[in-house]
Amino acid sequence: METIDIAPTDSVTVTVITDNYYDAVRRDPPMGKRYRTVPGQAIYAEHGLSYAIETVLEGIHGMFMFDFGLSPQVFMNNLLLLGVDVAATRGLSLSHGHFDHWGGLIDLLKMYGHSIRAGTPFFAGEEAFAHRFSLRPSGDDLYDLGSLDRKEIESSEKITVIDVKDPVEIIKGTWLTGSIERVTSYERVPPTLFIMREDSIEEDDFRGELAAVCNVKGKGLVVISGCAHAGIVNTVCHAQKITGIDKVHVVMGGFHFVNADPEIIEKTIADINAIGPDYIIPMHCTGFEAVTAFRDAMPEQFILNTAGTRYSFGP
């Protein structure tokens, strides 16, 4: 695989619009600012994830949105309180086709369609629009996770759907990884997640899952995942491979360790520690046990995320 030409950005700002956890009084992280609740203006938390990602490169500002949370009410509330300028977005993108990542998208297009620039691309990986299911830990019946309606998105006169398989630049200096190569032996998709392919329901391998990657000048890569069903180590290694850059500044996002075996968490933490990111920010589906394990193993690098936090990575 040829490496991409990823330009070093002067700065990257990541606003976490939705996440599973919120704390109104937790102190700010060293490179960011948390939303402070005031009466009548509360950030909501839910089992969902979404970001607004901004870059500055040679004085030029760019912004795109990556995932859209679980429920329209939470996503739209937080979007408004955080002051995200939807009119400034130059791209929309989806990490994978689970409803806790696309739930607020249709309402976003309905409410802000008038201000979105015509021809704005919506980047989606392979099988992003497929119907999905899951097994609950205590049951044998498939739980219907639904599917994102491609036709409903394409019905917007402002949006152009772009199918992604290989790495693609979404704004200047920020790329989507394309399909993530699997290189570890232990990072496997749980056998409780399923997908409809043609007329049969099969175990889901998330072959089209996407992550975002930036290269901050003098700092290294910022790797941003949705759920990392492909494995967070695989995701980071893939980002290193496609960019040709070994130095990792930040790894952030969902790492999908809810109900994971402790030994898998331990192997992952050991490999992430060996990669040596300056910051590790587990979110969303990482799970309490894995979050605390990262905190204990990487206390200097660890940051506990809260919904509404705005991170600034740069000089």
pLDDT higher at 68 or 114: 68
Phi and psi for 30 in degrees, rounded to 5?
A: -65, -25
Task: Name, in order, each residue with C-beta under 8 angstroms of 267's C-beta and a sequence gap of 6 or more.
Answer: 184, 186
| Residue 315 scores a pLDDT above 80 | no
108 vs 14, 87, 281, CA distance in Å? Answer: 19, 11, 26
Residue 78 within any structural domain of the chain = yes
Q: Across residues 120-124, what is the average pLDDT?
A: 97
Residue 59 lies in a domain: yes
CA distance 21 to 85: 23
Residue 48 lies in a domain: yes
For position 140, what pLDDT does the model report? 78
Q: Is residue 2 part of a domain?
A: no
Q: Is 71 helix (H, G, I), strand (E, B) or coil?
A: coil
- Confidence at residue 157, expressed as pLDDT on a 0 to 100 scale: 84
Asked if residue 77 belongs to a domain, the reply is: yes
| Predicted pLDDT of residue 141 | 85
Residue 85 lies in a domain: yes
User: How many domains does the structure of the chain reveal?
Assistant: 1
List the CATH number of the domain containing 257: 3.60.15.10
Residue 3 lies in a domain: no
Average pLDDT over residues 36-56: 95
What's the mean pLDDT in 28-36?
A: 95
- The stretch 121-132 carries a mean pLDDT of 97
pLDDT (average), residues 226-233: 97
Cβ neighbour number for residue 110 with a 10 Å cutoff: 12
94: pLDDT strictly greater than 80: yes
Residues 160-181 have a mean pLDDT of 96
- 217: containing domain: 11-313
User: What's the pLDDT at 259?
Assistant: 87
Within 40-119, strands assigned E span 50-57, 60-68, 92-94
Cα–Cα distance measured from residue 29 to residue 243, given in angstroms and rounded to the nearest whole number: 28
3-state DSSP call for residue 39?
Answer: coil
Query: Is 271 a residue whose pLDDT tops 80?
Result: yes
Contact present, 267 and 260 (Cβ < 8 Å): no
Q: Mean pLDDT score of the chain, rounded to an integer?
A: 95
More confident residue, 272 or 199: 272
pLDDT-above-90 percentage for the chain: 91
Q: What pLDDT, on the 0 to 100 scale, is given for residue 34? A: 97
pLDDT for res 254: 98
Please report whether residue 1 resides in a domain: no
Bridge partners for 50 per DSSP? 18, 68
